[in-house]
Structure formats: structure tokens, C-alpha cells
């Protein structure tokens, strides 16, 4: 009597391998939801980046305005000092009928001094790329103002060497008043950026007109 071989039962199929009907509408909705989610994430990221850049620009602009305002005050103060020294040299009786000499050897000479014009805020704006995120016209005005400032500082250091050359008192006075006018010119380069200076700037007093000696 032959023994029958047991028939194997049906294979168990995993539930996740079962095929089912695909709803194209659901697929389209899911794809659209994924795309919208990605776009929203990109928009939020761009908005956050733009906000950070604008905040950096605002901070840089405030720092630059404060820095230029302080430089303006220093220029105005030094211009007042130069005009006062020029007036003292002109009115000093001990300076009359003296031979030419270096300006620093004339009585009442107090030195031209060096105005401490800083550009730390400008350099920081460049290093942090805040300047590159500004509108072109605004960045151009800032660069122009500091460009004039750097030129003034170089010219001041160069022209100051002329005071070691023997000169008449009147020539030294004229140079002091010229330096004062140049500082006012530098301030006009700040005006397009931070507005006009509301304080009154000193002006050199008019040269006294000598009366002609009456003929005998």
C-alpha cells in the first residue's frame, strides 16, 4: 500500500506584496502636496535669508552713519582750531618783521594735528558682505564718501611736510586756512549719505586790509 505524499498548502503572500488598484487621483494629489511642501520650504528659507541680509544691512548703515557723524564732528572741531590758530598768528605782534622760518617755529603755532577719521564700520560692512547686499546707489554713496576720506588723509599727511620749509608767517597762515577749507570740503562728501551738518562750521576771518601810508 503506497503512502501518499502530502500536498503542500498555498504559499502565504505578504500583505505588502499584494497588488491593489491604483487611484491616479490620489497619486496626483500626493505629488502636488510634495511639490507644494518643497516650494514652501524654499520660500521660507529664502525669506529667512533675505531677512538676515536686510538686518545686516540695517545694522551696517546705522554704524556707518554714526561713524561719519563722529568724523564730521572731529573735522569741524579741528577746522575751528586751525582758524583760531591762524587768527592768533596773524594778530601776534611778535611775528612781525621776522625772517622766514618753518611754520612750527613761529610764535603761536600749535601744530596742525591729525584728525582721527575712522573707517571701522565701513571695513566691517565689506568683511561681512553687508555692502554687497545694499542697493547699488546706496553702496556707491558709501564708497564715494570713504574714498574722499582716504584721499584727504593721504593728502593731509603729504602736505603737512611743507611746514618744515622756511616760509613767511602769512604763508603759514594761508596754509592753515586752506586746511580748514579742505576739511569742510570733505564734509560735503558726507552730506549725500548722512545729510547736511546742522551745526555751524567755522570760517576763516577776512584778511585785514592794510591802510596805505599817507604820503608826506
Return d(Cα 203, Cα 84) in angstroms, integer.
10
Task: Confirm whether 168 is domain-assigned.
Answer: yes
Task: State the CB neighbour count (10 A cutoff) for residue 117.
Answer: 21
Name which of 206, 166, 169, 171 is nearest 95 in CA terms: 169
Which pLDDT score, from 0 to 100, does residue 25 have? Answer: 73
Per the CB < 8 A criterion, the answer to whether 85 and 110 are in contact is: yes
| CA torsion angle 21 22 25 28 (round to 10) | 170
Predicted local confidence at residue 8, as pLDDT: 57
Q: Name the residue among 205, 191, 164 with its Cα closest to residue 75.
A: 191
How many CB atoms sit inside 10 A of residue 128's CB?
Answer: 14
Distance of CA 135 to the CA centre of its chain: 14
Within 13 Å of residue 105, how many CA atoms lie on the same side as its CB?
Answer: 10
49, part of any domain: yes
Is the residue at 18 inside a domain? Answer: no
For 32-128, list the strands marked E by DSSP.
Answer: none
| Cα–Cα dist 68/84, whole Å | 24
Predicted confidence at residue 65, as pLDDT, reads: 96
Q: How many domains does the chain have?
A: 1
Please check whether residue 213 lies inside any domain of the structure: no
* Ranges of the chain with pLDDT below 50: 16-17, 209-216
Domain hosting residue 161, numbered range:
40-194
Q: What is d(CA 78, CA 152) in angstroms, rounded to the nearest whole number?
A: 14
pLDDT value, residue 122: 95
Q: For residues 86 and 183, what is the distance between their CA atoms, to the nearest angstrom?
A: 15
The pLDDT score that the predictor gives to residue 213 is 41
CA 63 to each of CA 67, 116, 190, 204: distance values in angstroms, whole numbers, following the listed order? 6, 17, 14, 32
pLDDT value at residue 80? 92
What's the whole-model pTM score? 0.72
Place of cell 603761536: 108
Amino acid at each position: 500500500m503506497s503512502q501518499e505524499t502530502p500536498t503542500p498548502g498555498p504559499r502565504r503572500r505578504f500583505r505588502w506584496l499584494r497588488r491593489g488598484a491604483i487611484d491616479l487621483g490620489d497619486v496626483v494629489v500626493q505629488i502636488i502636496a510634495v511639490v507644494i511642501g518643497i516650494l514652501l520650504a524654499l520660500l521660507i528659507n529664502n525669506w529667512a535669508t533675505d531677512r538676515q541680509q536686510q538686518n545686516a544691512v540695517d545694522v551696517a548703515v546705522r554704524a556707518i552713519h554714526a561713524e561719519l557723524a563722529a568724523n564730521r564732528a572731529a573735522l569741524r572741531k579741528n577746522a575751528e582750531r586751525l582758524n583760531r590758530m591762524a587768527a592768533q598768528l596773524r594778530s601776534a605782534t611778535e611775528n612781525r618783521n621776522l625772517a622766514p622760518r618753518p611754520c612750527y617755529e613761529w610764535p603761536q603755532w600749535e601744530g596742525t594735528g591729525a584728525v582721527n577719521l575712522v573707517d571701522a564700520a565701513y571695513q566691517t560692512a565689506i568683511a561681512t558682505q553687508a555692502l554687497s547686499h545694499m542697493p547699488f546707489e546706496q553702496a556707491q554713496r558709501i564708497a564715494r564718501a570713504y574714498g574722499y576720506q582716504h584721499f584727504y588723509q593721504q593728502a593731509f599727511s603729504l602736505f603737512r611736510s611743507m611746514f618744515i620749509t622756511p616760509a613767511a608767517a602769512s604763508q603759514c597762515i594761508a596754509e592753515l586756512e586752506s586746511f580748514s577749507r579742505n576739511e569742510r570740503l570733505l564734509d560735503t562728501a558726507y552730506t549725500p549719505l548722512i545729510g547736511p551738518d546742522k551745526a555751524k562750521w567755522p570760517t576763516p576771518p577776512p584778511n585785514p586790509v592794510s591802510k596805505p601810508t599817507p604820503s608826506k
